């Protein structure tokens, strides 16, 4: 295969699943010999939270308006202006989200680029009709769509009559490992976690992450294991979760176990491997996910995981890899949390690392993506 010039576009420089997917795939594509540049709006001017072998380009962006629709419209305009100004000749323009896809659609319509590819991680439900229309356009205007799991491949087929290839998430077994590091003990001390079992939830306080039901489930666990702690990490998001977060705070205040729940926000990226290792289990009973990247990261760290018995988790995990739960039933989540810290639960983590995590490297995801690029490249050669 010839050396490709690939432009990848993601919506943020902050740690979210779709951004990690973009960075790690960019890294794997670059290590495979391709010329990769990752673009993202960067209003704070901080750059990406993690380095890769691919080049990073921060798109200059002004502070966003208060409204989501206003922010989206502004970012689309800023990204489109960036693409036109820096109109380098890429073989592939590849958007990982609706904002960048709309900017690329604008540039396609103005003939500044020939077309673009879109990866659909998941599809949101907006009350705002304009946002729904932009989300739909970001899918329909793409020359080709990829998805990250079969559930979203099926969704694109049913809702849009689009056949998409699947490029799954991966994990680095070098970065995420069960081998202890000096930082592990220091981090546990810094967070004042004590000696009891630690349950880790990643993704912040969001309805999609099912955080309120995680709290309710933890109350069941605490009644049996009073030394347990719940740590909630992450939360960087373009969306406004303030209403759900207010409900969570009110329920936490009334729970009687507020001192056993620790909200630590966005962690330093270098500390995430240690955070997985000091956790006794990852609690991830989301009500909707594209793939669930943090599940692979936890399993690679040999940390037991609790997930919802729904797709996409049921696509790549079995009872031997995890503890399944009903995401709508806090008692079910609580039972899975207790099972995860048992001897049986720890065995699932070992099985998951040696099986699921070991076979899902980013190099394999990159090879799949390169193969899926070929029909688009072949079409462009024919049309040249």
| Same domain membership, residue 216 and residue 96 | no
Domain check: are 15 and 111 in the same one? Answer: yes
Per-residue pLDDT reduced to its tens digit, 264-311: 998 999 999 999 999 999 999 999 999 999 999 999 999 999 999 999
Distance CA 109, CA 104 (A): 9
My answer on whether 353 and 366 are in the same domain is: no
Residues 147 and 293 in one domain: no
Structure-token match 């069960």, residue found: 178
Residue range(s) defining the domain that contains residue 47: 5-170+362-383
Residues 238 and 270 in one domain: yes
Nearest by Cα to 312 from 166, 117, 160, 158? 166
Q: What is the CATH number of the domain that holds 149?
A: 3.40.50.2000
Instruction: Specify the number of domains making up the chain.
Output: 2
Neighbours of 1 (CB within 10 A): 11
333 occurs within a structural domain: yes
Domain shared by 147 and 110, yes or no: yes
> Is the domain of 343 the same as that of 327?
yes
Residue ranges of E strands in the chain: 5-9, 35-41, 55-59, 92-95, 117-120, 144-147, 165-166, 198-202, 229-233, 261-265, 281-284, 305-308, 323-325
338 and 371 share a domain?
no
Tell me the pLDDT tens digit for each residue of 306-329. Answer: 999 999 999 999 999 999 999 999
Would you say residue 2 has pLDDT above 90?
no
Residues 287 and 355 in one domain: yes
Q: Residue 361: how many CB atoms within 10 A of its CB?
A: 18
Q: How many other C-beta atoms are found inside a 10 Å radius of the C-beta of residue 185?
A: 12
- Please write the tens of the pLDDT for every residue from 331-376: 999 999 999 999 999 999 999 889 999 999 999 999 999 999 998 8
Query: What is residue 75's predicted lDDT score, i.e. its pLDDT?
Result: 95
**Tens of pLDDT, residues 124-156:** 888 889 999 999 999 999 999 999 999 999 999
Residue 380 has what pLDDT?
60
| 98 within a domain of the structure (yes/no) | yes
Per the CB < 8 A criterion, the answer to whether 279 and 231 are in contact is yes
In this structure, are 46 and 157 located in the same domain? yes
Q: For 196-242, what is each residue's pLDDT tens digit?
A: 899 999 999 999 999 999 999 999 999 999 999 999 998 777 778 88
* Contact call for residues 105 and 138 (beta carbons, < 8 A): yes
Q: Are 153 and 102 members of one domain?
A: yes
pLDDT at residue 384, rounded to an integer: 47
Q: Is residue 340 part of a domain?
A: yes
- Give the pLDDT confidence score for residue 289 in this predicted structure: 95
Predicted pLDDT at 233: 95
Beta pairing partners, 38:
8, 56
Total-model pTM: 0.93
| CA–CA gap between residue 150 and residue 154 (Å, rounded) | 6
Q: What is the pLDDT of residues 13-72, one digit of tens each?
A: 888 888 999 999 999 999 999 999 999 999 888 888 888 889 988 898 998 888 889 999
pLDDT band (50, 70, 90) for residue 383: low
pLDDT at 236: 72
């Amino acid at each position: 295969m010839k050396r490709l010039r690939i432009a990848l576009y993601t919506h943020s420089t902050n740690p979210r699943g779709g951004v990690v997917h973009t960075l790690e795939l960019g890294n794997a594509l670059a290590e495979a010999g391709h010329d990769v540049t990752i673009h993202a709006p960067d209003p704070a001017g901080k750059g990406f939270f993690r380095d890769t072998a691919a080049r990073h380009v921060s798109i200059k962006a002004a502070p966003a308006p208060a409204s989501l629709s206003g922010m989206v419209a502004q970012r689309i305009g800023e990204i489109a202006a960036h693409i036109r100004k820096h109109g380098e000749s890429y073989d592939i323009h590849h958007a990982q989200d609706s904002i960048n896809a709309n900017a690329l659609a604008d540039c396609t319509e103005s003939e500044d680029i020939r077309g673009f590819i879109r990866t659909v991680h998941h599809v949101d439900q907006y009350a705002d009709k304009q946002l729904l229309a932009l989300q739909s356009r970001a899918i329909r205007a793409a020359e080709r769509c990829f998805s990250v799991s079969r559930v979203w491949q099926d969704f694109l087929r049913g809702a849009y009559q689009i056949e998409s290839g699947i490029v799954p998430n991966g994990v680095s077994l070098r970065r995420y490992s069960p081998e202890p590091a000096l930082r592990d003990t220091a981090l546990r001390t810094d967070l004042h976690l004590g000696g009891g079992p630690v349950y880790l939830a990643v993704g912040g306080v969001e309805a999609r992450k099912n955080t309120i039901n995680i709290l309710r489930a933890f109350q069941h666990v605490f009644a049996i294991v009073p030394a347990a702690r719940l740590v909630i990490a992450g939360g960087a998001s373009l969306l406004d979760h303030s209403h759900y977060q207010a409900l969570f705070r009110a329920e936490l205040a009334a729970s009687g176990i507020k001192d056993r729940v620790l909200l630590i926000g966005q962690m330093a990226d270098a500390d995430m491997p240690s955070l997985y290792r000091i956790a006794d289990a990852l609690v991830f009973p989301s009500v909707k996910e594209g793939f669930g990247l943090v599940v692979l990261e936890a399993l690679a760290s040999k940390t037991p995981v609790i997930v919802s018995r729904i797709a996409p988790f049921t696509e790549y995990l079995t009872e031997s890899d995890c503890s399944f739960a009903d995401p709508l039933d806090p008692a079910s989540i609580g039972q899975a949390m207790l099972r995860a810290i048992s001897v049986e639960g720890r065995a699932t983590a070992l099985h998951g690392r040696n099986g699921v995590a070991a076979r899902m490297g980013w190099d394999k995801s990159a090879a799949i993506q390169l193969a899926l690029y070929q029909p688009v490249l072949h079409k462009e050669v024919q049309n040249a």
